[in-house]
Every structure is written in structure tokens, then in C-alpha cells.
């Protein structure tokens, strides 16, 4: 019991979802009789549910990937895991199966916001005793509760999107690694997925700053209750307009940020404009029509504060020149409508 408690103390000391995942698998792997552990990511691709290993044991060590799930060659259809599929369909807390002699598998799905984002898979050579199941589920419950606390601290209370604190903590790492990190979650069909990259056009990462046009007038005319409803509905349109491995943040007020992963400039233009049109064409209760302005930039050049500052410049150019439009920073600089300038970390405060 003492080693388990020590591992639980270590596990709850992490402030990162992936490190917490590695820690709980390490704890489970040390239990007597456990021969293999994995964390499976569940996602939908082309309308079909899939799973792929996100953390697993390799050469005696736990390794993880945060690459895009939909392009992972190790992905499998969920139908290949019938016991797990039934467990999720019936919203059960666990599933057991013996796929072959000497292999007994326990799946523990992580339920958050009434969806399964990940699932822990534990394999033994012998059947699971009632006592062993009780211990495993106890460790798992601590893990799931702590995952929920981390998730709550990362999100905006009104919209459920990631908050500014989460952006500040993660964007430096994403900018340095080309947005290699992904967010585990159930994939919604993406507007971007309809467009294959044009031949020869490089795939990049993009940061967009979004602002609701004339939002102060909405609050002044209809009240903050309807203003909050507009924010919630805009957040819903954002979710449906981008992929699960893209990242969406609410910065506070009427400002949002989108990190768009692994696509071309022409596709980025299409996706951002589709989102803008989706907002324009949405009938907001009581308020009627609402529009947004958006500025975006590639994340491949400059420090995080420079990248964010350039997207902000493009946004405010859009707002000062008619609103309800998408502006790309490099196009504005190339046409002479914006002057490219260096931004120092200690002499600018964004937003």
C-alpha cells in the first residue's frame, strides 16, 4: 500500500495532462501481475470512431506522442475493441475482455463533459480478482478526479474554451515546436478536412485573433445576459469550425484566439472565412446578426509575443477598415498597408 500512496502523491504533483497520464500508468505498471499498460486516445475520423495509443511501454520505458491522432498509422477502428465500444455506448465505468489465452484486459474510460476523451488499458496474464479491480479503480478514480480539476483550471467558466492562463502557459512550447502538441478529445468533423493541401504549398501553423464586432453595443442595447449568450454561441461556432487538435482560447471580453495546426495558407484563409461566414449567417436570439473580425499570422517566425502582436495588428486593421473580414498579416505588410516592426517582450502589452 505504501508504494501506491507514494505514487499517488507524485501523480497529483503534476500540472500537465500528459505528464499526469504517464504518472498514473507508471503507478499501475508497478502493481503485481500487470504486464502492460497503455493510454488510448479516442477520436472520430470521417464519421468513424477510432482509437490510437497515446502513451505506452516501449523498451521498458513509458513513451508518449502528442501528434495528430487522425494521421497516426497505429490508429485502429473502435469496432476492433467490442468490449470497449459497448462500455462507451452504455456509459459504463469499465470493461473487461480476454482477447486470447493468457491476456486479460481492463479498460477504464475517462469521462469528461459526458464524453470519453481517453481510456486507460491494463493487461494481466491472469484474470482480475475482485480485490485487484477495487485497487485499480481506486487509483483510476484519483487520476480521473485530478484530470477534472486540471481541466477546470484551464477553462473559461462561461464558454468552456481554454482560458488566457492556459494560452500563456502553452503557447511558447507550441511556437517552439511548430504546434506539435495536440489536445486529446473527440474530433468534430472539420471544415479544414474538406480541402487537401494544394501541390507544393507548404503546411504551416497559424495563430488567429478573433474579435466580435460592436460587442459593446450588444451589451448596451440588450444587456449582459444576451451578451453572454452571444459569447457562448460564438464559442460553439468556433468548436464546430475547427478540429479537435486545433486549439481555441477565450482571452476575456469578446476576444478569442485560435491555433490552427498543420495546414496551408490557402486552406487557412478558407477555414477562417468559413468561420466568419458561419457567424454572419447565424441568427442570434434577440440580437439578430453578429459579425466578427479576424487577423492571423504564421507561427514560424518570431517570438510568441511577436507572433501574437502581429496577429493583433492584422485584427485591428480589419476592424478599422470595415470589420467582418479576415486579414493575413504578411499580405498587409507586403501591400504596404502595415509596417513590419519588431516587438520586444518588455515594451508592449497586448490587448
Same domain for 184 and 305? yes
What is the extent of the structural domain holding 141? Answer: 2-154
Residue 299 counted as domain residue: yes
Q: What is the pLDDT of residues 262-313, one digit of tens each?
A: 899 999 999 999 999 999 999 999 999 999 999 999 998 888 889 999 999 9
pTM above 0.85, yes or no: no
* Amino acid 189: pLDDT: 33
Same domain for 124 and 8? yes
Residue 175 counted as domain residue: yes
Cβ 121 vs Cβ 115: under 8 Å: no
Q: Residues 6 or more apart from 217 whose CB is under 8 A from it?
A: none
Residue 349 counted as domain residue: no
Residue 98 counted as domain residue: yes
Residue 346 counted as domain residue: no
Q: Which of 120, 154, 188 is the last residue of a domain?
A: 154
Same domain for 115 and 49? yes
Cβ 83 vs Cβ 40: under 8 Å: no
What's the CATH number where 138 sits?
3.30.450.40
Cβ 96 vs Cβ 83: under 8 Å: yes
* Amino acid 12: pLDDT: 65
Same domain for 226 and 79? no
Same domain for 188 and 301? yes
* Amino acid 271: pLDDT: 97
Residue 348 counted as domain residue: no
Residue 350 counted as domain residue: no
Same domain for 116 and 192? no
Q: What is the DSSP letter of 324?
A: S
Q: What is the rounded distance in angstroms from the CA atom of residue 78 to the CA atom of residue 248? A: 27
Cβ 258 vs Cβ 234: under 8 Å: no
Same domain for 70 and 196? no
Q: Which of 154, 189, 211 is the last residue of a domain?
A: 154
Cβ 257 vs Cβ 209: under 8 Å: yes
Same domain for 243 and 95? no
**185 closest CA partner among 94, 66, 37, 76:** 66
Q: What is the pLDDT of residues 61-116, one digit of tens each?
A: 999 987 778 788 999 999 999 999 999 999 999 999 998 888 999 999 999 878 89
Q: What is the rounded distance in angstroms from the CA atom of residue 181 to the CA atom of residue 65? A: 9
Same domain for 170 and 148? no
Q: What is the rounded distance in angstroms from the CA atom of residue 171 to the CA atom of residue 274? A: 25
Q: What is the rounded distance in angstroms from the CA atom of residue 218 to the CA atom of residue 261? A: 32
Considering its fold, how many domains does the chain have in total? 2
Same domain for 98 and 12? yes
Q: Which of 103, 129, 154 is the last residue of a domain?
A: 154
Q: What is the pLDDT of residues 22-64, one digit of tens each?
A: 989 999 998 989 999 999 999 988 889 999 999 999 998 999 9
- pLDDT exceeds 50 at position 178: no
Catalytically active residues are 254
Same domain for 248 and 205? yes
Same domain for 196 and 126? no
What's the CATH number where 260 sits?
3.30.70.270
Residue 341 counted as domain residue: no
Amino acid at each position: 500500500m505504501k508504494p501506491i500512496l507514494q505514487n499517488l502523491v507524485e501523480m497529483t504533483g503534476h500540472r500537465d495532462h500528459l505528464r499526469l497520464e504517464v504518472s498514473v500508468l507508471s503507478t499501475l505498471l508497478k502493481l503485481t501481475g500487470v504486464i502492460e499498460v497503455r493510454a488510448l486516445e479516442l477520436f472520430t475520423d470521417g464519421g468513424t470512431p477510432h482509437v490510437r495509443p497515446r502513451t505506452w511501454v516501449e523498451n521498458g520505458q513509458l513513451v508518449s506522442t502528442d501528434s495528430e491522432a487522425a494521421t497516426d498509422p497505429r490508429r485502429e477502428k473502435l469496432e476492433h475493441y467490442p468490449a470497449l465500444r459497448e462500455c462507451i455506448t452504455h456509459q459504463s465505468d469499465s470493461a473487461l475482455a480476454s482477447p486470447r489465452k493468457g491476456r486479460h484486459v481492463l479498460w477504464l474510460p475517462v469521462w469528461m463533459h459526458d464524453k470519453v476523451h481517453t481510456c486507460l488499458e491494463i493487461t494481466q496474464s491472469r484474470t482480475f480478482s475482485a480485490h485487484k479491480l477495487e485497487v485499480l479503480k481506486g487509483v483510476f478514480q484519483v487520476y480521473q478526479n485530478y484530470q477534472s480539476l486540471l481541466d477546470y483550471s484551464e477553462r473559461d467558466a462561461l464558454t468552456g474554451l481554454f482560458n488566457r492562463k492556459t494560452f500563456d502557459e502553452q503557447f511558447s512550447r507550441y511556437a517552439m515546436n511548430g504546434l506539435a502538441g495536440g489536445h486529446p478529445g473527440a474530433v468534430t468533423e472539420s471544415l479544414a478536412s474538406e480541402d487537401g493541401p494544394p501541390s507544393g504549398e507548404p503546411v504551416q501553423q497559424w495563430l488567429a485573433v478573433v474579435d466580435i464586432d460592436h460587442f459593446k453595443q450588444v451589451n448596451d442595447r440588450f444587456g449582459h445576459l444576451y451578451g453572454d449568450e452571444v459569447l457562448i454561441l460564438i464559442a460553439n461556432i468556433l468548436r464546430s469550425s475547427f478540429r479537435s487538435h486545433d486549439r481555441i482560447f477565450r482571452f476575456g471580453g469578446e476576444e478569442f484566439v485560435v491555433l490552427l495546426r498543420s495546414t496551408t495558407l490557402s486552406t487557412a484563409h478558407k477555414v477562417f472565412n468559413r468561420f466568419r461566414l458561419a457567424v454572419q449567417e447565424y441568427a442570434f436570439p434577440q440580437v439578430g446578426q453578429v459579425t466578427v473580425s479576424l487577423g492571423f499570422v504564421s507561427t514560424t517566425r518570431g517570438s510568441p509575443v511577436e507572433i501574437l502582436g502581429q496577429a493583433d495588428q492584422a485584427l485591428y486593421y480589419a476592424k478599422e477598415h470595415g470589420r467582418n473580414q479576415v486579414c493575413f498579416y504578411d499580405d498587409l505588410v507586403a501591400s504596404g498597408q502595415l509596417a513590419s516592426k519588431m516587438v520586444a517582450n518588455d515594451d508592449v502589452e497586448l490587448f
